[in-house]
Amino acid sequence: MSEKREVRVRFAPSPTGDLHVGNIRTALFDWAYARHTKGKFVFRIEDTDRERVTDQYIQAAADTLRWLGLDWDEGPEVGGPHGPYLQSQRLDIYKEWAERFLAQGDAYLCFCTNEELEARREAAKESNRPPGYDGACRDLSESDRSRLSDQGRKPVIRMRMPEGSTTFNDLIRGEVTFEHRFVPDFVLMRNDGSPLYTLAVAVDDVLMKITHILRGEDLLSSTPRQIRVYQAMGMSVDEYPVFAHLPFVMGTDNTKLSKRNGEVSIAWYRERGFLPEAICNYLALLGWSPGDDRENVTLDELAELFDVSRVNASPARFDMKKLEAINGEKIRALPISELLKRSLPFLIDSKVITGNPEEIEVISKALPLIQERIITLGEVVPMVSFLFGNEVVIAYEEAKKISDEVSLGTLKAAKEALAQVSEWSESSIEAALRAELIEKMGLKPRVAFTPVRIAVTGSHISPPLFESLALLGKTRTLARISALL
Ligand code: GLU
């Protein structure tokens, strides 16, 4: 590749659902490579299968990239000089190229029916021959073609793979060679005129002037076919995009991460209140490191440091605990005003608050109490909901914990002690409860405070007790203890 060419990297998902962890790690590395080289990041939607790729998923994919902070220079919503960037809007282009390959002799019409192909595949398997296309229609004469056509058969367009092999230099795996006897002639266009992935992806990478293809290793085996399409398009070897096939992200059971062995949808993480910066941080360091043992990396740092040759060639293991730890860390690092801003949608969506100024004031006071204790933004909701409304719902499991005599005695004593507190503040609440329950009654702190905590907040897990009571106010605190008693 000539030195002067501007780097152009693309992320080209086929969103048949929400983007998953593997997609996002690919997108992140694509983005980082483009930003690091001051090149362009192109976002292309591979939606030739419009039954499975819906508008809703396309929109969701764009929203997810934006949410993560992965901005694109060309693609849906922003346009660009090589558009349209939805493959479903480029069907004429693929057709034109397939026909050109046909005219050049790089491709041929194949009249074999699916049943015939299936039967020959079976026969090949039985006699231990490779199962791919056997070349039956490779050298049909004009009269063969009209005879088959007269039988009512509608041909597909099939690419001719020459003898020999394809070798390319993968930025992560080094030199990779595919022997063509294992790469049979492949279909470019179905007999209804719709393109196959291999045609559309290769044509677009050429027309969009893509210089680097960083993508999942599941696509490694389609690379020799794509290179064949580049050749047919008249590209010379030094003009081909450079490939880097990223190793799989594995689940806990050491198989490829999927719905079966882990949570894969990025929407799932977003709904639970994982922060985009935590997801990017974690995925960036999953199988890549800048050469030190850092655990934190921002998008800006990733852009500055990213070096594709430092991507580990062996599979990376997705570790939920680690992601959670990073998320908790990022939450603790947020200024309260920012934590407030990010928590509000969760509180409003779950109908704990409507979002009025008084509620927001209470939340801003509660957030410092829980910031150290939460892993996701979603956890803010159960932690602060006791602060709203007069009553609190106590789950059976929680009530059972304090149904014994000691707990009831403790609650009665706590109620009396709290009723005497005149200036309702965290320190006077603490002093009153300690004097009564610990000093006078001789209880251990956990035994003393758990019943009060459950009575007032509804759960044995809550923000710190004295601060919680101070925030809740004297009237509601006493009313809740009385209600439980
Ligand atoms: N559209 C393909 C997919 O989502 C990826 C295409 C590519 O990166 O070459 O699996």
DSSP reduced 3-state for 14:
coil
Ligand 1: centre distance to CA 359 (Å)? 46
Confidence of residue 2 (pLDDT cuts 50, 70, 90): very low
Place of tokens 């079966």: 260
Report residues whose beta carbon is within 6 angstroms of any ligand 1 atom: 12-14, 46, 201, 215, 219
Percent of the chain at pLDDT above 90?
Answer: 90
Confidence of residue 301 (pLDDT cuts 50, 70, 90): very high
**How much is the mean pLDDT over the chain?**
95
Which numeric CATH code is attached to 389-485? Answer: 1.10.10.350
Which numeric CATH code is attached to 90-246? Answer: 3.40.50.620
Q: Beta-carbon neighbour count of residue 289 at 10 Å?
A: 17
SS (H, E, C) 237-252: HHHCCEEEEECCEECC
In the set 125, 154, 259, 400, the catalytic residue is 259
Ligand 1: centre distance to CA 219 (Å)? 7
Closest atom of ligand 1 to CA, residue 46: 1
Confidence of residue 1 (pLDDT cuts 50, 70, 90): very low
CATH of 1-77+247-333, one of 3.40.50.920, 2.50.20.10, 3.40.50.620, 3.40.50.450: 3.40.50.620
- For residues 125 and 119, the answer to whether their CB atoms sit within 8 Å is no
pLDDT tens digits, one per residue of 136-177: 999 999 999 999 999 999 999 999 999 999 999 999 999 999
Position 255 scores a pLDDT of 84
Cβ partners under 8 Å of residue 293, min gap 6: none
Mutation pick for ligand 1 pocket among 213, 219, 258 (CB with most ligand atoms within 8 Å): 219
Q: Establish whether domains 90-246 and 335-385 are of one fold.
A: no
The pTM (predicted TM-score) of the whole model is 0.93
Domain regions of the chain by residue span: 1-77+247-333, 90-246, 335-385, 389-485
Ligand 1: centre distance to CA 245 (Å)? 11
Rg (CA), the chain: 31
The H or E element that residue 102 is part of is: helix 91-104
Least confident of 60-64, 254-258, 367-371: 254-258
Closest atom of ligand 1 to CA, residue 26: 8
Token pair for residue 345? 């949608």
User: DSSP string spanning 343-383?
Assistant: HHHHHHHTTS----HHHHHHHHHHHHHHTTT-SSGGGHHHH
- For residues 154 and 191, the answer to whether their CB atoms sit within 8 Å is yes
pLDDT tens digits, one per residue of 429-447: 999 999 999 999 999 999 9
Mark whether 259 is an active-site residue: yes
Cα dihedral: 8, 11, 14, 17 (round 10) = -160
Q: Has residue 66 got a pLDDT over 90?
A: yes
When pLDDT is averaged across residues 368-392 and rounded to a whole number, the result is 95
Ligand 1: centre distance to CA 484 (Å)? 59
Confidence of residue 372 (pLDDT cuts 50, 70, 90): very high
The H or E element that residue 326 is part of is: helix 320-332
Position 251 scores a pLDDT of 87
Closest atom of ligand 1 to CA, residue 218: 10
The size of the chain, in residues, is: 485
Contacts 24+ apart (CB under 8 A), 147-152: 148/111, 149/111
Q: Please report, in angstroms and rounded to a whole number, the separation of the first and last CA atoms in the chain.
A: 79
Tell me which architecture the domain covering 335-385 has in CATH. Orthogonal Bundle (1.10)
Q: How far apart are alpha carbons 439 and 418 in whole angstroms?
A: 15
DSSP reduced 3-state for 12:
coil
Closest atom of ligand 1 to CA, residue 219: 9
